[in-house]
Amino acid sequence: MVLRVGMLFVCLVLMTLTADARSGVFDLTKYKPGGDIAQALLAAWKEACASPTPSKVLIPGGKYTLGAAELLGPCKAPIELQVEGKVMAPAQPKGESWVTFQRIDGLTLSGKGSFNGQGHIAWASNNCHKNPACKGFPINLRFNFVNNAMIKDVTSEESKTFHVNVLGCKNITFQNFKIVAPAESPNTDGIHIGRSEGVHIIDSNIATGDDCISIGDGAKQVHVQGVTCGPGHGISIGSLGKYDNEEPVAGIFVKHCTLKNTDNGVRIKSWPAMKGGSASDIHFEDIVMDNVLNPVIVDQEYCPWNQCSKNAPSKVKLSKISFKNIRGTSKTPEAVKIICSSGFPCQDLELSNINLKYTGNQGPAKSVCKNVKPKITGTLNPPGCH
Ligand SMILES: *[C@@H]1O[C@H](CO)[C@@H](O)[C@H](O)[C@H]1NC(C)=O
């Protein structure tokens, strides 16, 4: 078996790994705590990746420091990284990635362990909302061009910026995945998806400072189910229409989710004036809102920090959108806010069985619509939009 070679290499050269050639498990147990496991992890990964039979790299229980790690494919057979330990990033921000999985077909990331980005230092110096030339911070976990992947049970904590970035992936599932960061941590989006197809986020819990799940251009067939978000900014499509050549967003299904104490519930946002683009076939169903600022919101005048001109309408086309069976409580009187583009009014938008109770005392609650003629079926509470 090829893993013999890996075992010798790893044990003799690094003295930090044990490999069980028969089961294809590379175990970092012999590693002495306190230092950086990057070298040991990369060596084990390289050997496992070269194995013609399925293999596993194991980070056992314990606390470890890991510098930036690029876990690259293609591998000869499916590969698993099982993390049982608490893996800590270097405290000082460096580069734009911490742990990257790239060009792998058949990846499993599993275990009860965690990736802790030690974000507090980065958060204090983050001025990216005001300074477009700000330097980026490392993302906890990047999945670049990874196909047929399962990410289960692990936790991402305290990322310096986004926790997870999914780019160019096909058939990738996050299940029983956990994200933890405080409400006031800036730019700490939970899972950002761009230019990927067949993304499933199931039975997961995301508490963070920015979007729970953000869906960018080129995302297709994204299924979010049984996810609890909060604190954070909710589940968001966009923002779209800021850059040239954005790919369409199509086929987004968000079901059986709960949003607790978030700024937004379910949202679609695009920039006014700037670039074109489209989002279609987007469905939110069976969603519980618990004390959410803007539970249902389409905002085609999204322009934070005045980074754009609001004088021209958004060029992003929105169509085939539904909000169904949405109930719970709103912290603002405008519980439903559908603000579409005057240049490209929303097409084929449905509001069905919406029951949101305003918990404050700033006048009567209402639903507000602009540049859209929604199809309303069942209840629409608060009323409006006709
Ligand atoms: C999707 O990926 C999973 C691994 O998570 C695999 O078991 C499954 O067969 C893949 N589905 C397709 C259609 O390739």
Do 99 and 218 share a domain, yes or no? no
Q: Whose CA is nearest to atom 3 of ligand 1?
A: 148
Ligand 1: does its nearest atom lie under 6 Å from the Cβ of 146?
no
CA distance 140 to 157: 8
Task: Tell me which residue of 134, 184, 181 sits closest to 162, measured CA to CA.
Answer: 181
Do 325 and 198 share a domain, yes or no? yes
Assess whether 233 carries a catalytic annotation.
yes
172 C-alpha to center of ligand 1: Å? 8
User: Mind listing the pLDDT tens digit of every residue in the chain (386 residues)?
Assistant: 122 222 323 322 233 355 554 456 777 766 555 678 999 999 999 999 999 999 999 999 999 999 999 999 999 999 999 999 999 999 887 899 999 999 999 999 999 999 999 999 889 888 876 777 777 899 999 999 999 999 999 999 999 999 999 999 999 999 999 999 999 999 999 999 999 999 999 999 999 999 999 999 999 999 999 999 999 999 999 999 999 999 999 999 999 999 999 999 999 999 998 999 999 999 999 999 999 999 999 999 998 877 788 789 999 999 999 999 999 999 999 999 999 999 999 999 999 999 999 999 998 999 999 999 999 999 999 999 98
169 C-alpha to center of ligand 1: Å? 12
Do 276 and 327 share a domain, yes or no? yes
Q: What is the pLDDT of residue 91?
A: 87
22 C-alpha to center of ligand 1: Å? 25
Per the CB < 8 A criterion, the answer to whether 78 and 104 are in contact is no
CA distance 183 to 211: 10
Do 166 and 87 share a domain, yes or no? no
CA distance 93 to 289: 35
Q: In degrees, to the nearest 5, what angle opens at C-alpha 187 toward C-alphas 185 and 191? A: 105
Do 111 and 191 share a domain, yes or no? no
Ligand 1: does its nearest atom lie under 6 Å from the Cβ of 171?
yes
CA distance 352 to 334: 17
Do 165 and 121 share a domain, yes or no? no
Which of the listed residues 98, 125, 152 is the one where a domain comes to its end?
A: 125
SS3 21: coil
Ligand 1: does its nearest atom lie under 6 Å from the Cβ of 148?
yes
SS3 10: helix
Question: Quick check: is 233 in a domain?
Answer: yes
105 C-alpha to center of ligand 1: Å? 10
Q: What is the pLDDT of residue 12?
A: 25
Cβ neighbourhood burial of 38 (10 Å; 0-12, 13-18, 19+): middle
Catalytic-labelled residue, pool 200, 233, 256, 283: 233
Ligand 1: atom nearest CA of 108 is: 5
Q: What is the pLDDT of residue 28?
A: 75
Ligand 1: does its nearest atom lie under 6 Å from the Cβ of 149?
yes
CA distance 95 to 269: 29
Do 73 and 213 share a domain, yes or no? no
Q: What is the pLDDT of residue 171?
A: 98
Q: Whose CA is nearest to atom 8 of ligand 1?
A: 148
Q: Give the count of domains, the chain.
A: 2
Q: What is the pLDDT of residue 135?
A: 75
Do 114 and 224 share a domain, yes or no? no
Question: Quick check: is 132 in a domain?
Answer: no
Mutate to test the pocket of ligand 1, among 146, 169, 171, 174 (most ligand atoms within 8 A of CB): 171
Per the CB < 8 A criterion, the answer to whether 89 and 114 are in contact is no
Question: Quick check: is 346 in a domain?
Answer: yes
Question: Quick check: is 116 in a domain?
Answer: yes
Which of the listed residues 70, 104, 125 is the one where a domain comes to its end?
A: 125
Question: Quick check: is 141 in a domain?
Answer: no
Q: What is the pLDDT of residue 1?
A: 18
Do 111 and 207 share a domain, yes or no? no
CA distance 170 to 282: 19
Question: Quick check: is 149 in a domain?
Answer: no
User: With helix as H, strand as E and coil as C, how does 42-77 read?
Assistant: HHHHHHHHHCCCCEEEEECCCEEECCCEEEECCCCC
Ligand 1: does its nearest atom lie under 6 Å from the Cβ of 173?
yes
Q: What is the pLDDT of residue 15?
A: 33
Do 107 and 178 share a domain, yes or no? no
Ligand 1: does its nearest atom lie under 6 Å from the Cβ of 150?
yes
Q: What is the pLDDT of residue 19?
A: 53
Question: Quick check: is 146 in a domain?
Answer: no
CA distance 295 to 289: 7
Q: How many other CB atoms are there within 10 angstroms of residue 125's CB atom?
A: 11
Per the CB < 8 A criterion, the answer to whether 36 and 29 are in contact is no
Task: Tell me which residue of 64, 127, 136, 121 sits closest to 91, measured CA to CA.
Answer: 121
Domain that holds residue 55: 1-125
Q: What is the pLDDT of residue 98?
A: 97
27 C-alpha to center of ligand 1: Å? 26
Angstrom CA distances, 266 to 232, 252, 382, stand at 12, 12, 17
Which of the listed residues 105, 125, 145 is the one where a domain comes to its end?
A: 125
Do 205 and 60 share a domain, yes or no? no
Question: Quick check: is 58 in a domain?
Answer: yes
SS3 164: strand
Do 184 and 277 share a domain, yes or no? yes
106 C-alpha to center of ligand 1: Å? 8
